[in-house]
Amino acid sequence: MMQYRLFGNSGLRVSELCLGTMVFGEEWGNGANFETSKKIFETYTSAGGNFIDTANRYTEGTSEKFIGDFIAADRDRFVLATKYSLFDKRNDVNATGNHRKNLMRSVHESLERLQTDYIDLLWLHMWDFTTPVEEVMRGLDDLIRMGVVHYVGISDTPAWIVAKANTMADFRSWTPFAGIQVEYSLIQRTAERDLIPMAKHFGLAITPWAPLGAGMLTGKHNEKPAEGARLKATSVKMNERNLGIARKVTDLAMQMGCTPSQLALAWIRSKGPEFLPIIGSRSESQIADTLACLAINPEAEVLAALDEISAIDYGFPHDFYKSPGVQDVLYADNKESFTQRRY
């Protein structure tokens, strides 16, 4: 049974799994056609899902067009999220980026493709390192005040920039980001260093993309491809460490009587109600298998085993703080008095 969560520190109610629609459309050569995309959408919504994620760039705009058709009969039921920042025209210098001109143009064109007059959640897709934070936050707040957008979030951006943006928004009475998107899975846990602690501090929703490690955690790629074999996107992550994680997930899933994908998603969901994984699929059967993760509740020892095999080096300054010498000079003989951490 699908449950619902508050999106960050807002009052917006979203389903605990978000439907990613990057493969709705065949323009990129590996996506789903209209009929298949609609079946995926209907399987998700029949399970109680209401949180749909797309973007202006997905399949050259076809994803948004499909979604617009799918939700047209009951628009208000759905929490519709799309993104801006990535290019729509290669030869137009202002048709990409985080700046106000591209923001307004991109949102206007997304509204047309989506056949709606408002976007529930607008994500800044990727930080461009050229636009001032002030310009971004003021532009997003203007869209909120116009009623064109209801909430805003930010994806693929360093933690210090998100922290600066939300602090500035609070100081100037602008709308802050309510959530972040990050790559996060048993294969990729580096967001735990700064992005996830930052999100928790600000009360942001965390919507992991690629929760199955670009397919590595499905159990279908547990062996290296033969030399000379045609490489797929998954092969970028195919190293000994990741293969070891994938095999462990498969072994534990077999013991539990579930699929590796279901266990990998259950691990993310166990991290807390602020984690809202983005699930994607190219077929009706795949999305049905994925949705079955809602019934998986791994025992503590299973989660601990997954944590251990996928552990990362947190690096400086995190590991520095944990060293006995630093703990000694920081707390002296009073360490036990500081068991409560504020951050």
Active site residues per annotation: 58
Q: Give residues with Cβ within 8 angstroms of 267, minimum separation 6.
A: 186, 298, 303, 306
Enumerate long-range contacts of 165-169, CB under 8 Å, 24 or more apart: 165/133, 165/136, 165/137, 166/202, 168/133, 168/134, 168/137, 169/137, 169/141
Residue 76's CB is within 10 A of a number of other CB atoms, namely 10
By the 8 A CB rule, do 80 and 121 touch? yes
CA angle 175, 177, 179 (to 5 degrees): 145
Give the integer Cα–Cα distance in Å for 252 and 243: 14
Nearest CA to 159 out of 110, 117, 123, 192 is that of 192
Residue 300's CB is within 10 A of a number of other CB atoms, namely 8
Partner residues linked to 341 by β-bridges: none
DSSP 73: G
Nearest CA to 13 out of 3, 26, 4 is that of 4
Residue 147's CB is within 10 A of a number of other CB atoms, namely 9
Give the integer Cα–Cα distance in Å for 58 and 60: 5
Nearest CA to 186 out of 294, 266, 291, 301 is that of 266
By the 8 A CB rule, do 175 and 9 touch? no
By the 8 A CB rule, do 114 and 67 touch? yes
Phi, psi (deg, nearest 5) at residue 250: -65, -45
